[in-house]
Amino acid sequence: MELAYSPQEEEFRARLREWLAKALPALPPKPSPDDWPGRRAYDLGWQRTLYDAGYADVHWDASPTTRLIFLEETEKAGAPYVGAGFVGLLHAGPTIAAEGTAGQRARWLPPILRGEEVWCQGFSEPDAGSDLASLRTRARRDGDEYVVSGSKIWTSHAEVADWCELLVRTDGDAPKHRGISWLAMPMDAPGVTVRPLRTLAGSTEFAEVFLDEVRVPVANRVGDENDGWRVTMVTLSFERGTAFVGEVVACRRVLAEIAREARANGRWDDSGVRRRLGRLNAEFRALWRLTQWNVSEGEASGGVPGVGGSVFKLRYSRVRQELYEVAAEVLGVGALDLGRPWVLDRLSSLSYTIAAGTSEIQRNIVGERILGLPKG
């Protein structure tokens, strides 16, 4: 593992910092969290700004270490998050870059990089969330098209998406981890119905998606037919490998803010609070080193993160929840006020041990693929 940065990487960091200092003050005000059309326009506008400045391709054409520096510096500077571009930039895009044909890369990657198209993730189903391979949405081959029927749930950003990275079952007789294919489905295709879901925190970034005889060209399949599970593992390795880099940086900033609030309101006098804050500081420092280790592994393996991403996801999910638990302890009765800082974040943190693969799934991956334990 090599944690040192090269002179070229440090030069990239310095140049990026200088550009961010000039670009961020020129941004328009952020739209309301409930204004999804406004949020889409804001998020895509920021992506276009990155594209014009030459930073848009960092998610695919840059090395994992350069990508790590980009995510670290943009988060430290307070730059906008990828937002509605989350799936396209961090999941579907890297997967297409790694597994797509030259024609597929030419069709789908440039609009994502230019901030022109939004993708959503059609993986989970009502009876196939943690056990993703149990998905039932089926795709029947009809000439040069698949005819897709079924439903998806917890589909991120479906309400504003142009495309969906969709998992479908193309062979119902095959074992459940086989017979799955990865399709790119246009969200304006006839037969697609989107119904937004409201989370505990009041946000609506997820939706149910119903598919009624939706026709998707066979040319939109990424990877071979019935090889979708392997392609999906590439997608999930990106999700668990580098997609949370900015969040770790943000959590370290929030931890410092909580400590300042504790000193201001007297909670710092409680040795238990100080001990929890100190342990969380050590946890996030260790997670950052683990992130660097995963990036180094990705650098050595051609850019695709390995199963170390599951180790990271497993621990990060719990530590993030602990961060906002101690925030509530510092706020006292203020933790019941939805308008106070960190209160909505505490509610949303409850989803982290479920979203992007539950902690139980991560433990299975660690047990089987890292420790070599037999499948139970």
The residues that are catalytic are: 239
Sequence-ordered strand ranges (E) for 72-144: 119-122, 138-142
Structure tokens at 95: 């997967």
Q: Which residues contact 40 (CB under 8 A, 6 or more apart)?
A: 84, 118, 160
CA neighbor of 347 nearest in space, from 198, 236, 247: 198
Q: How far apart are CA 132 and CA 128, in angstroms?
A: 5
Residues, the chain: 376
Cα torsion 235, 238, 244, 246 to 10°: value is -120
**Kindly report the CA angle at 50 between 72 and 351, in degrees rounded to 5?**
50
Q: Which residues contact 199 (CB under 8 A, 6 or more apart)?
A: 205, 206, 347, 348, 351
